[in-house]
Structure 1
Amino acid sequence: MKSLKKQRRIQIIALAASALAVSFGLIWYASQDAFQFFRAPSEVIAAPPPSNEVFRIGGLVSEGSLKRGEGAAISFSVTDGGATVPVVYTGILPDLFGEGEGMVGTGSYVNGQFVATEILARHDETYMPAEVIDALKEQGVYVEPET
């Protein structure tokens, strides 16, 4: 009788562990698209990601690169001082978006250009995302703002 209870207990523990492993695997698989990694333009050029991968890119909008197309189509280049990546975006840009300003875009890298689905710009004259600051510092381009 003892061995039957012990065997049943082992089966329940094994079943619970299996259910836990399967649920963890399903959660991990489902959340892969939710994670968006930040990349600097130099990283994108050095190792271009697959066109189906959604990630964030950030840097400074290159001077003289902002061009407005028909409708809400916009193109510009983003740089970290080491490399420049062309960006295309269809939509309304944030009010503080401009040339020489910091930006972060979400989208994918398709045929040599970043196709953005979302563009974020700084929210005041001193703010810049930490990832962009780090990338610019690595390239030796970042200048501390005057306070």
Structure 2
Amino acid sequence: TEGTPGGTEHILLVDDEKNVREAVAHTMELSGYRVVAAANGEEALRFAAMHAGLLHLLLTDVVMPGISGRELANRLSRIRPQTRVLFMSGHTEDAILRHGVRNGEVAFLQKPVTPGALLRKVREVLDAAAPHGL
């Protein structure tokens, strides 16, 4: 979309819903980002441990089976302290709070999200001076 910021950074996308994962990855890739998509936190951590290059952003669902998005972000920060974090969720605020993510204290997107809003928020988090959410 014209006027929507893109980039070339490496994004680790984690969402247990395949259709959401594919749609978000497609939007990001069309804007120039290099995206690796994982279905869960365990898969994401395995990739992060093996990947030699930079991971600029973790874009993760909050509520997932196994490792939650918040726990994933905490674990990833130990091996990738430079990686920024953007949480997203389609759940109610109550469910999100129970998983340790509060909208005001971390970078957060409510699903469903439009492609334009997604790309603007990703660019905002990547351009921020310090890592978010950790």
**TM-score in same-fold range (> 0.5):** no
Give the TM-score category using the shorter length.
under 0.3
Query: TM-score, normalised on structure 2?
Result: 0.27
Whose radius of gyration is greater, 1 or 2? 1
Greater per-residue strand proportion: 1
Q: Specify which structure has the bigger relative contact order, considering alpha-carbon pairs within 8 angstroms and separated by 6 or more residues.
A: 2
Query: TM-score, normalised on structure 1?
Result: 0.25
